[in-house]
């Protein structure tokens, strides 16, 4: 399958929650991948983020939206130190039609070294195909007291840049008085904010306006879209901010 080119900015629609959080995030409608793909196409999002199984069963050539395959996965059923295992190779992601690959690193976890090593290999493999690599840079573990503090989020931004990520997806910090510093720490790596749990329209849009002004390139958002009453409208409002 020919890969579509992907913009390293804008709005990416994430749909990996069934595995990451459990189907409790979903409604009768949003549990259906077809519904998500339809929303993505109507809103013309800049990318759709799927895990291997969903991509394999539901993403096809007719879809006009570039695909990001997230290569590692975990459930929240295990309560120990965070580790997300690679379940899809770069080769397989290419076969599935991916235009970019994603990978989560839990910096600060007891298992950090394995994820850092795996990410390094994946980045090299993806580069050979000309595929950008997107890092979910999520400090997490017993040593991380506040994973949304500006200090930890800026560390996550810097670590992603120094490991060669083309895009880094970060938690929105709980103090956003110096978002510019976070963007600066990421250097030439494009910074995307994660959406997080559901917010009102006003709060979400205000936060993203501040992020865009500070130099963030986009948002990778899931629950704030598929849990919304008007997902397409929300996506379009976000697109207007990051266009």
- Pick the piece of the chain touching ligand FBP (CB under 6 A) from 59-67, 91-99, 123-131, 188-196: 188-196
Residue 234, interface with ligand FBP (CB under 6 A)? no
Cβ distance 219 to 190 under 8 Å? no
Question: Does 222 help bind ligand FBP (rule: CB under 6 A)?
Answer: yes
Q: Is 189 in the site for ligand FBP (CB under 6 A)?
A: no
> How far apart are CB 144 and ligand FBP at their closest, in Å?
12
221 lies in the site for ligand FBP, by CB under 6 A: yes
Residue 195 interacts with ligand FBP (CB under 6 A)? Answer: yes
Close Cβ partners of 122 (under 8 Å, ≥ 6 residues apart): 71, 86, 90, 101, 103, 133
Q: Is 169 labeled as catalytic in the residue annotation?
A: yes
How far is C-alpha 171 from the geometric centre of its chain's CA atoms? 10
Nearest CB to ligand FBP, comparing residues 123 and 172? 172
Q: Does 46 bind ligand FBP (CB under 6 A)?
A: no
Residue tagged active-site, from 138, 155, 171, 207: 138
Number of C-beta neighbours around residue 43 at 10 A: 21
Nearest approach in angstroms of CB 128 to ligand FBP is 25
Asked if residue 136 binds ligand FBP (CB under 6 A), the reply is yes
Residue 18, interface with ligand FBP (CB under 6 A)? no
Q: Is 138 a catalytic residue?
A: yes
**CA pair distance 179, 30, nearest whole angstrom:** 32
Phi/psi of residue 190, nearest 5 degrees: -75, 130
Residue 35: exposed, middle, or buried by beta-carbon count in 10 A (0-12, 13-18, 19+)? middle
**Binding to ligand FBP by residue 16, rule CB under 6 A?**
yes
Q: Which residue in 169, 171, 172, 207 is the catalytic one?
A: 169
Closer of 94 and 221 to ligand FBP (Cβ): 221
Q: What is the DSSP string of 199-223?
A: --HHHHHHHHHHHHHHT--EEEESH
Q: Candidates 26-34, 111-119, 193-201, 208-216: pick the segment binding ligand FBP (CB under 6 A).
A: 193-201
Cα 98 versus chain centre, distance: 14
List CB contacts of 237: < 8 A, sequence separation 6 or more: 201, 205
**Residues recognised as catalytic:** 138, 169
Residue numbers at the binding site for ligand FBP (CB under 6 A)? 14, 16-17, 20-21, 136, 194-196, 220-224
């Amino acid at each position: 399958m020919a890969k579509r080119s992907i913009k390293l900015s804008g709005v990416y629609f994430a749909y990996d929650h069934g595995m990451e959080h459990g189907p409790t995030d979903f409604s009768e409608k949003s549990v259906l991948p077809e519904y998500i793909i339809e929303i993505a196409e109507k809103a013309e999002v800049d990318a759709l983020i799927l895990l291997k199984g969903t991509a394999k069963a539901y993403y096809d050539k007719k879809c006009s939206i570039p695909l990001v395959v997230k290569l590692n996965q975990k459930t929240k059923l295990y309560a120990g130190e965070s580790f997300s295992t690679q379940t899809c190779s770069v080769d397989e992601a290419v076969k599935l039609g991916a235009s970019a690959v994603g990978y989560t690193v839990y910096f600060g976890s007891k298992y950090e070294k394995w994820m850092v090593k795996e990410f390094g290999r994946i980045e090299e493999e993806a580069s050979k195909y000309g595929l950008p690599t997107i890092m979910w840079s999520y400090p997490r573990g017993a040593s991380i007291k506040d994973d949304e503090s500006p200090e930890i989020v800026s560390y996550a931004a810097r670590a992603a840049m120094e490991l060669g990520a083309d895009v880094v997806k970060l938690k929105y910090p709980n103090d956003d008085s110096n978002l510019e510093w976070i963007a600066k720490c990421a250097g030439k790596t494009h910074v995307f904010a994660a959406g997080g749990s559901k917010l009102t329209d006003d709060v979400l849009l205000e936060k993203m306006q501040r992020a865009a002004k500070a130099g963030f390139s986009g948002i990778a958002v899931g629950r704030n879209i598929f849990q919304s009453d008007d997902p397409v409208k929300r996506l379009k409002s976000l697109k207007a901010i990051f266009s």
